[in-house]
Amino acid sequence: MKIATLKHHGHAALIEQEKLYIISSALQRHGLPAPEGATLTTLDLLTDWQRYLDLLVKLRGQLDSDEHYQLVAEVELAAPVLRPGKMLFAGANYYSHIRQFGQAGGQAHMPQFGQTGGQTFEKSKMNPYLFAKLPDSVVGPYDQVALPVGYEQVDWELELGLVIGQVGRSIKAEHALDYIAGFVMINDITARDRSRRQDWPMLGSDWFISKSVDTFCPMGPYLVPKGFAGEYHDLKAQLWVNEQRYQDFNTSDMIYQPEELIAWASAVSTLRPGDVLATGSGPGNGMATGRWLQPGDVIEAEITGLGRQKTPVVAEQL
């Protein structure tokens, strides 16, 4: 089961075998409860997630005879969650990513994992590192990434994203899975040359101007409900720029698991339906390879079962 959002109308749609069904009208056609005359969005589904998930499971069993569909290839899709309430991202959450980052000299202040340069990482003595990214940075899976004037070291970071499906605060890790509605694919575009402020050296990093630029968060194409995503601890993730593969990693390499990230985040801020928590990126970024995004590039990305993105890179036109 996959859920998508139509770009021009914002309708939530169910995807089955490359066929797309508008959820609100499909529920009505098959005699299942649906708001009278209303159009369901993905956020509508998430705010009453368990009820709608049960309805969608029933709907799937009745679609074989339903001829009211469109082909996915013929429809423009937006990000599956158009306006996340908040977006939290895990930094430095893959062992191999941190090792490669340190070897490339990208962030000398970052500890490398294992005994390296006199530093030893001990997970038991550390906690997850989370930062916020503005929802206005979100674009669809095939939309353009626009590079602002003066941004010269813009990087890619493919990530597995968690979509929250119920309200929770101070969630225990052992109960955290109950709060995940499903998974999405996210590319956390990052301007490395803006992550440190030379004019404010005493304040260090600046995640706002380096990560929250409009278009710096391609998301989708699909929200895949948790029970239909397979083993999320063992998903293959790959990213290409101009058909050259740069990232190829597995979610099994995460340092802090999704359950631990949810527990850490919810200890600070109440999680709500439609919030998105990205779980970090593996190795193969531009920082490690010295290859930065340029206008004319095309980024393609894929995570097992979550679909494929294709995002052209352009110069921002103001």
pLDDT tens-place string over residues 1-21: 999 999 988 999 999 999 999
Domain tally for the chain? Answer: 2
169 band by pLDDT with thresholds 50, 70 and 90: very high
Q: What is the mean pLDDT of residues 230-254?
A: 97
**What is the torsional sign of CA 222, 45, 16, 225?**
positive
Whether residues 64 and 163 share a domain: the answer is no
Q: What per-residue confidence (pLDDT) applies to 251?
A: 97
Whether residues 71 and 101 share a domain: the answer is no
Whether residues 69 and 103 share a domain: the answer is no
Whether residues 140 and 221 share a domain: the answer is yes
Q: What per-residue confidence (pLDDT) applies to 103?
A: 56
In this model, does residue 111 exceed pLDDT 60? no
Q: What per-residue confidence (pLDDT) applies to 108?
A: 33
Whether residues 47 and 109 share a domain: the answer is no
Whether residues 200 and 94 share a domain: the answer is yes
- CATH number, domain of 250, equals 3.90.850.10
Q: What is the mean pLDDT of residues 31-56?
A: 91
Q: Which domain holds residue 49?
A: 2-78
Q: With contact defined as beta carbons under 8 Å apart, do 55 and 27 qualify?
A: yes
Q: What per-residue confidence (pLDDT) applies to 199?
A: 87
In this model, does residue 119 exceed pLDDT 70? no
Whether residues 221 and 274 share a domain: the answer is yes
Of 78, 111, 135, the position where a domain reaches its end is 78
Whether residues 167 and 48 share a domain: the answer is no
Whether residues 74 and 206 share a domain: the answer is no
CA distance 149 to 22: 40
Asked whether the whole model's pTM tops 0.85, one would answer yes
101 band by pLDDT with thresholds 50, 70 and 90: low
In this model, does residue 241 exceed pLDDT 90? yes
Helices and strands of the chain, counted as H and E runs: 7, 20
Q: Do the strands 298-303 and 138-139 form a parallel or antiparallel pair, or are they unpaired?
A: unpaired
Of 45, 78, 111, the position where a domain reaches its end is 78
Q: With contact defined as beta carbons under 8 Å apart, do 281 and 301 qualify?
A: no
Tokens of 196: 């440190």
In this model, does residue 37 exceed pLDDT 70? no
Whether residues 196 and 140 share a domain: the answer is yes
CA distance 222 to 305: 9
Whether residues 74 and 116 share a domain: the answer is no
C-alpha pair distances (Å), 90 with each of 71, 77, 94, 130, 197: 35, 26, 10, 5, 21
Q: What per-residue confidence (pLDDT) applies to 163?
A: 98
Q: What's the per-residue H, E or C state across 241-261?
A: ECCEEEEEEEHHHECCCHHHH
Q: What is the mean pLDDT of residues 51-76?
A: 95
Please give the share of the chain, as a percent, with pLDDT higher than 90.
Answer: 81
Residues in CB range of 27: below 8 A, 6 or more apart: 33, 34, 40, 55, 59
From the list 247, 225, 254, the residue with the least C-alpha distance to 158 is: 247
Q: What per-residue confidence (pLDDT) applies to 121?
A: 57
49 band by pLDDT with thresholds 50, 70 and 90: very high
Whether residues 293 and 222 share a domain: the answer is yes
pLDDT tens-place string over residues 174-198: 999 999 999 999 999 999 999 988 8
Of 56, 78, 100, the position where a domain reaches its end is 78
